[in-house]
Structure 1
């Protein structure tokens, strides 16, 4: 190298800007797909160290067990560990093993859905992590006396469908901030009253399907905790007495009354309380009409999340009028309302400028044509769930795609009149990341799924039960080459050669499901594991002795293979 070039090189190295670790971490946290951290960790040891710090949640599956010590040594900033349901391992020994590692940030543990409650393991676990803040022991038989003894600083506990010693909960865990008591049938009015009285920091309470509690008992209890911010009382008859108690909760921002019976008078009385609600769930509620919900929404100026699923009286006219009251809405759920059509969907997009997620599964979207000059582009919409809309057709889907340029996720599964417009979504929505197209176009004659343009943002695609050919699949793999998750269940035309083409073209593929792909040989599994090192999970087309015998071998390559 000439002297001048060498000098310039040293100059650039000297003045190359150095970003502090905090800046790099901030950049990494903005990655939309957490799997991208794996690629970054391969760039340098510095990036490896930084990416290790950003993994905060770990789920321990059966296939994770051999790798667990290495994972716990690598990811020392974990905040949450979850044991997979019915993991079929010695849970006591597993918790003791976790307790032997240095995890200073760990504050949340999930041992739900286990066959036995790990009393011994939790004792050892508590010696290392006595300041645990959150514990999920739902669907178990928890020893609350032991929990209170081991984790006196516990702030959150999930006891859904658990078999409780009620007294231990109401007297031993006084620092609780959030409690989920869904499905607890031996919880009495006196118990919920004592819980609210003793837990002076309580902010969130979930009472779902608790048949032994009365509305009066719930009303008296929540009056003891006026600082409640979140309350779920599902499946009850919402009386005016309960409403009077709700109105006293001047900090209440989240209210869930799903599956309940509630009158218009009750909703209007709730509106009179002028609560600072940001989230409201009235899904599958009965007993009220449009006058009641409109009265309430007029007073909820800052509502961001609204659930009105399975509401019998709701129609396009109602939704159009209600949408005018919801300028700050981010998420709306309207699934199961058969009287809602395209008019409701486009009214929400037009009148709710901040909307990001719309769920309208099992409605009549596609039934009512909307003129193009009545449409307005909404750049905030990112998630659209339109599954099981029997009226939805290609024309409607194209119109939807034209007004949602920043769409990231679209669910068109079981929309049996939709076909080629799914490709139109991939073409128009340049930020699309996930698409669910399972059972697409089953009422139509064969159509060609031709994706002959690049879709570099797409990382999850569900093509289950589609009659696509190897040629179509090959074209998809070339166009959507950054796919990380691909589901091909029940794709009868796909053969071994078609799957090989996908594995060759999609160099970042992490999961592929081939369940009941009759023309795909199970022998391909070995080839996939070796040919594509990025693969972490394969659902094999069928079970075979070959797969069973090599399962541990696949795990050593970092890939878990299963069959259903």
Structure 2
């Protein structure tokens, strides 16, 4: 006999290791935490309550009585009570309190966290602008197991304060910080961290002398980020990279001096590189892209958004097929055209994700990607700026691997949408925001053909009535998230009814009128 549904659920509960509350959860989050506390979840280790409108103090107290050994808590973009967290979960090893709203006693709360959570290994305090040097010092002093610390986007901290703090924890493996004006004293503190393998600096001013001093420290970085950093030149970064033989992740977004010649030379030093971000470097062309693909044989992800890819043409005999590259982000490249996209599809046969959003000259090339890349799972084609009046987006072949598709802002018709849904029948997420031509008939074809659909976004689809939401919830039980075209009282009144069917419905608040509480709760922050 097949096992009963209750026994299946019981086995599932036994294996559940993490819970993430929908963000924002518009029901009673205190009540849902109390309800979770009534379940038998012996393997539960992680809870994520990010982006909530209110901090569920009562619910967390009840939750902690059942799960006092919780190891990971994520409550970013909330207004948490850090003292309560320290009292309720003394065994936490990881905590994310980034971008939180705290009162003037923020330092006291962080110090209470440091005193109560001595087992912490990983702490993220990113974006907490009124944090003091003394708080980070106390954290590093008290948490003897601390290995990863993130305090970037925290302008209130000083170089000297961070340097003094990290010297308390010589076993730190990962540090993310906004260094401001990076001094040699700060570099000395970094060099003292002999286990440091991941360094993320951002929006900092760092000299060639400082980078060379860091290179002399014989640190073997696996991850290095100098995103939006200034003050250094090619000699400084090349000096550092020559000493990083095992570097796997490199972020040089927004580097002021970077050009194709620099990237070609640096790529020869990066034999083990797997992920690189070269976005927002306006002098980089396809020459840099192919240098990375050719000289970094292990590369799996390349980001070159808002560059000049497509402006420079390459001879076909210079191209090398790369079987490792899986993720390619080329958004906002105004020179990128169909020829370049088709060429990329032919030499990157194992692509799983491609972002071509806001590219100025791409049209039929996207169909070539879907046809040639047999492992493609995700494509972002939102807001392609080319004239689509002469181009019909017809995918006349099956693409069973495609799970996520963003067509927002495209002038596609119901007929094209129907063809896409028939051949991309395994879609789980589909974004159609600002698609002004489609109607309810086109949406119904998607819901009927895509039997695994979990999320569909219809923001500002002017010809689609919000009345279709009720039909979608009943017609496709797999749906977990619907973004309705606009706010209507009909949707607000049925919000709880939709939740009982397992679907969270969001909507655009009414414009130029006073918002009801229900409408404001329907606002959407982010979906990942």
Change (3 A) 1:388 1:241: same
The ranges of structure 1 where at least 4 consecutive aligned residues each deviate by more than 6 angstroms after the TM superposition are 46-52
* Greater RCO, CA 8 A, separation 6+: 2
Residues 1:481 and 2:419 aligned together: no
SS at match of 1:282: strand
Distance in 1 (CA, whole Å) between partners of 2:54 and 2:505 is 27
1:132 is displaced (CA, Å) by 1.8
Distance in 2 (CA, whole Å) between partners of 1:394 and 1:44 is 52
Counterpart residue number, 1:77: 15
Q: Deviations over 1:398-442 (max 9, x none)?
A: 111111000011111111210001001011101111111111243
Q: Are 1:419 and 1:441, in contact at CA under 8 Å, matched by a contact in 2?
A: no
Q: Are 1:138 and 1:162, in contact at CA under 8 Å, matched by a contact in 2?
A: no
Counterpart residue number, 1:255: 199
Counterpart residue number, 2:355: 411
SS at match of 1:257: strand
Distance in 1 (CA, whole Å) between partners of 2:154 and 2:189 is 18
Q: Are 1:209 and 1:235, in contact at CA under 8 Å, matched by a contact in 2?
A: no
Counterpart residue number, 2:410: 466
Q: Are 1:417 and 1:444, in contact at CA under 8 Å, matched by a contact in 2?
A: no
1:104 is displaced (CA, Å) by 1.3
1:550 is displaced (CA, Å) by 4.3
- Equivalent residue for 1:329, pick from 262, 269, 273: 273
Size of the alignment, in residue pairs?
Answer: 502
Distance in 1 (CA, whole Å) between partners of 2:470 and 2:29 is 31
Counterpart residue number, 1:420: 364
Counterpart residue number, 2:173: 229
Counterpart residue number, 2:137: 193
Gaps of 5+ in 1: 1-42, 54-73
Distance in 1 (CA, whole Å) between partners of 2:426 and 2:182 is 50
SS at match of 2:224: strand
- Equivalent residue for 2:392, pick from 434, 441, 448: 448
Residues 39-118 of structure 1 aligned to structure 2 (within 5 Å): 45=3, 75-118=13-56
Counterpart residue number, 1:387: 331
Q: Are 2:248 and 2:274, in contact at CA under 8 Å, matched by a contact in 1?
A: yes
SS at match of 2:47: strand
Residues 1:147 and 2:85 aligned together: yes
Change (3 A) 1:98 1:498: closer
Bigger shift: residues 178-187 or 463-472: 178-187
Counterpart residue number, 1:350: 294
- Equivalent residue for 2:455, pick from 508, 511, 516: 511
Change (3 A) 1:503 1:186: closer
Q: Deviations over 1:163-215 (max 9, x none)?
A: 32243234332222112222344543333333222221111111223334321
- Equivalent residue for 2:217, pick from 273, 290, 313: 273
1:494 is displaced (CA, Å) by 1.7
Counterpart residue number, 1:562: 506
Bigger shift: residues 295-304 or 217-226: 217-226
Bigger shift: residues 131-140 or 192-201: 131-140
Q: Are 2:111 and 2:139, in contact at CA under 8 Å, matched by a contact in 1?
A: no
Distance in 2 (CA, whole Å) between partners of 1:382 and 1:47 is 38
Counterpart residue number, 2:227: 283
1:272 is displaced (CA, Å) by 0.8
1:449 is displaced (CA, Å) by 1.3
Change (3 A) 1:545 1:211: closer
Distance in 2 (CA, whole Å) between partners of 1:551 and 1:212 is 42
Q: Are 2:349 and 2:374, in contact at CA under 8 Å, matched by a contact in 1?
A: yes
Q: Deviations over 1:232-271 (max 9, x none)?
A: 1115211111111111111111100111111111111111
Q: Deviations over 1:343-390 (max 9, x none)?
A: 011111111111111111111100000111001000011111111110
Distance in 1 (CA, whole Å) between partners of 2:399 and 2:10 is 29
Counterpart residue number, 2:70: 132
Gaps of 5+ in 2: 509-528
Q: Are 2:220 and 2:243, in contact at CA under 8 Å, matched by a contact in 1?
A: no
Distance in 2 (CA, whole Å) between partners of 1:287 and 1:509 is 48
Change (3 A) 1:378 1:45: farther
Q: CA RMSD of the aligned region, Å?
A: 2.5
1:100 is displaced (CA, Å) by 2.0
Bigger shift: residues 240-249 or 137-146: 137-146
Structure number with larger C-alpha Rg:
1
Q: Are 2:388 and 2:411, in contact at CA under 8 Å, matched by a contact in 1?
A: no
Q: Deviations over 1:531-562 (max 9, x none)?
A: 33333333233344444444444444443333
1:447 is displaced (CA, Å) by 1.0
Q: Are 2:111 and 2:138, in contact at CA under 8 Å, matched by a contact in 1?
A: no
SS at match of 2:430: strand
1:85 is displaced (CA, Å) by 4.4
Change (3 A) 1:348 1:549: same
